[in-house]
Chain A
Amino acid sequence: MRHTISVLVENKFGVLARVSGMFSGRGFNIESLNVAPTHDAALSRITAVLKGDDASLELCIRQLRKLINVVEVVDFKEGQAVARELVLVKVRADVKSRPEVLQIADIFRAKIVNLSPDSLIIEATGDDEKITALLGLLDPFGVLELARTGRLALKR
């Protein structure tokens, strides 16, 4: 099962290694991982999406709680949290195909953040479904590069 884990940690070096090591040392593959400071600069929030069976993930979370630099750990069940992702995608688009790409971006309420003669960069946010749909539609034009934040989540 897919889990979204939110870990509030002290903003110190090595903390990310401790947290990710807890997953890797138990054979969990991290699907996505995001780290950034919170409103309290001394703390960072790590949001990780993992696949694994519920029981071993529960054990893993209890281990996380024991880490001295970890302040809080939450395992979001479906529907408990608002989850979003931001992607930057560079798509091939020349004069001919540009209008169509722009139309798709518009429908998805995505923004064009860079434009060059044969490509453009689209910034889009949304839940998994929306992002997957957008990327699917852009694929035929030629996705040149892609960067995504991975899932971010906050409790409702």
Chain B
Amino acid sequence: MKKDTTSPAAFPQAEIGREMKGSDCVVECLIREGVDVIFAYPGGASQELHQSLARTDKIRTILPRHEQGGSFAAEGYARATGKVGVCMATSGPGATNLVSAIADAFMDSIPLVAITGQVFSKYIGKMAFQETDFYGMTLPIVKHSYLVMDAKDLPRIFKEAFYLARSGRPGPVVIDIPKDIQQAKFQPVYPATVEFRSTYATATFTAPDEQLKQVLALIAEAKRPVLYAGGGIVSAEAHTDLKAFAEKTNVPVATTLMGIGGFPETHPLSMQWFGMHGSAYGNWAVDQCDLLLCFGARFDDRITGDTNKFATHAKIVHIDIDASEHNKNKRVLLPIVSDIKPALVRLNELALAHKFTPPDTAAWHAQIATWKKETPFRYDESKHIVPQEAVAALYELTQGDAIIVTGVGQHQMWAAQFYRFDEPRRYISSLGLGAMGFGYPAAMGAKVACPDKQVIDIDGDGSFMMNIQELATAHIEKIAAKAMILNNQHLGMVVQWEDRFYGSVRGNTILGDETNVGSPDNLGGLYPDFVKVAEGFGVKGRRVHKKSELRAAIQEMLDHDGPFVLDVIVPYTEHVLPMIPAGKTVKDMILK
């Protein structure tokens, strides 16, 4: 652990601003942090802040139609760019509506700053109108948080908050600002740099050479090595270094869902992603490997299944910036505390300097090639459009060049299975928390961040409904985020578990009229009519149920210059396969 010594020359002196209101100071702080867009829903306790935002043209303020939509949009923005996403809500119910996104950002290590209005200081703790202890409520799901009790602290707090959100292992930071603080007049002093008593907060973590040489030595003697690459690769912007390292050492790569695009999926060394619904070959390779190099991932239960039976033949190396992840879920041979970026840069340098020759792993590569050939991601053709086919068609028609955002459920897995991602930040999904309703608002956020890219929310009819009101935001704000709904009229993933483990008993998993369930064979039963709903919001839509019209419909969506809802009617009978049931092992993998 080294202290991050920012040279004083790099920063100007602390700067004294003109006298202003607390709320104007907040906006000034946001501008200084380079914020160009904020997703904010006003209310009594945050109105001052909105008044100040109304007076600047440097920040685009987007009004979502629900605070949860706004906060997911801020996350979509952050995930698409790596920059800090910013959302804001009023006290009480406005604030509580941000909780899901904050928890989501915490689980997936996404840089997010959530600003909330709070009741007047003098009313705090008195059950005032729209009062909640938001600071207390969010303690377990934030990287850090602040309740501002003195307006003079605002510049320091904002500087710290943005620093913390984006540095180290990124995460969400909450800033709760009572209304009197927003109204207070004072002369702000903008600090030149951040200072913490904790050395951890500003530490940089780089692995010592001895440890990295050990990694290379382990690879040199491995017969069946595998690289297991996670979201750390993406957030550390280390994808090119990973590619160079994998090629140099000739080690096949399987990513996690968070790590998708951290290694190009069309690369010969790619085994796509592994875990519960990941590639069979990726899972087999991890199961059989004799050396597992885990870079920037955390041995999540959806990756490992039963940890005692996970990668039992392997020596495991775990490089992660967060020491608390080491030996948390799985005991490893060599835990290395390091930012993955400098670790990979140095590994590549060492490999070059020591003329590293990859071990002879021809047999291993041949085995993987056989697995890949025999057991790819696949689906059976049907007379109807099957959901997998819709994703595959989208991949073809976009030539792989789109940002794909998802809700949570079967469609989320199919999107990851049948779209191929060659670049990071192209598969945007709520993975750790698994928050339904994430898709469309996050797609809006990504589209705002990347207006020149196609941004498509591949969603389920259940998930899409959870934040459907954001179609209004897309229309009014002219955000051309597209939604492709794989509409099976059911909560598909839960139905799949019902079919596999609960004797197909439907426990509230049908979304329409249970006596007249819609399907490709019963168009009359489809509920709701998403095209009409979209139309009501002023958004163009199209329903497609005929296989022969699928491609034309997708093309129409892609060509449309504005938000679009493509309602793809699919049967509910498809299951996401492969599947390793929760807590089980690779040997229990369901392939059919």
Contact = CB atoms under 8 A, between A and B. Distances in A.
B135 interface: yes
Interface in B189-203: 196-201
Given A62-B324, A63-B324, A68-B164, A18 B197 contact: no
A66 B200 contact: yes
A71 B198 contact: yes
B136 A17 contact: yes
- Size class of the B contact interface (CB-based, 8 Å): 20 to 34
Contacts of A42: 197
Given A18-B139, A25-B140, A68 B324 contact: no
B147 A65 contact: no
A43 B197 contact: yes
B323 interface: yes
A59 interface: yes
Nearest to B144: A68
B197 A71 contact: yes
Most buried by B among A59, A66, A70: A66
Contacts, number: 46
B328 interface: yes
A68 B135 contact: no
B322 interface: yes
A17 B140 CA distance: 10
B197 A59 contact: no
Nearest to B328: A59
Interface in B283-334: 322-324, 326-328
Contact of B322 (A10, A21, A66, A67): A66
B328 A68 contact: no
Interface in A30-51: 42-43
Interface in A2-21: 10, 13-14, 17-18, 21
Contacts of B199: 71
A2 B197 CA distance: 29
Given A14-B147, A42-B197, A71-B197, A66 B140 contact: no
B324 A70 contact: no
27 contacts: A10-B198, A13-B147, A14-B139, A14-B145, A17-B136, A17-B139, A18-B139, A25-B140, A42-B197, A43-B197, A59-B324, A59-B327, A62-B323, A62-B324, A63-B324, A65-B200, A65-B323, A65-B324, A66-B200, A66-B324, A68-B144, A68-B164, A68-B198, A68-B200, A68-B201, A69-B198, A71-B199
Interface of A: 10, 13-14, 17-18, 21, 25, 42-43, 55, 59, 62-63, 65-71
Interface of B: 135-136, 139-140, 143-145, 147, 164, 196-201, 322-324, 326-328
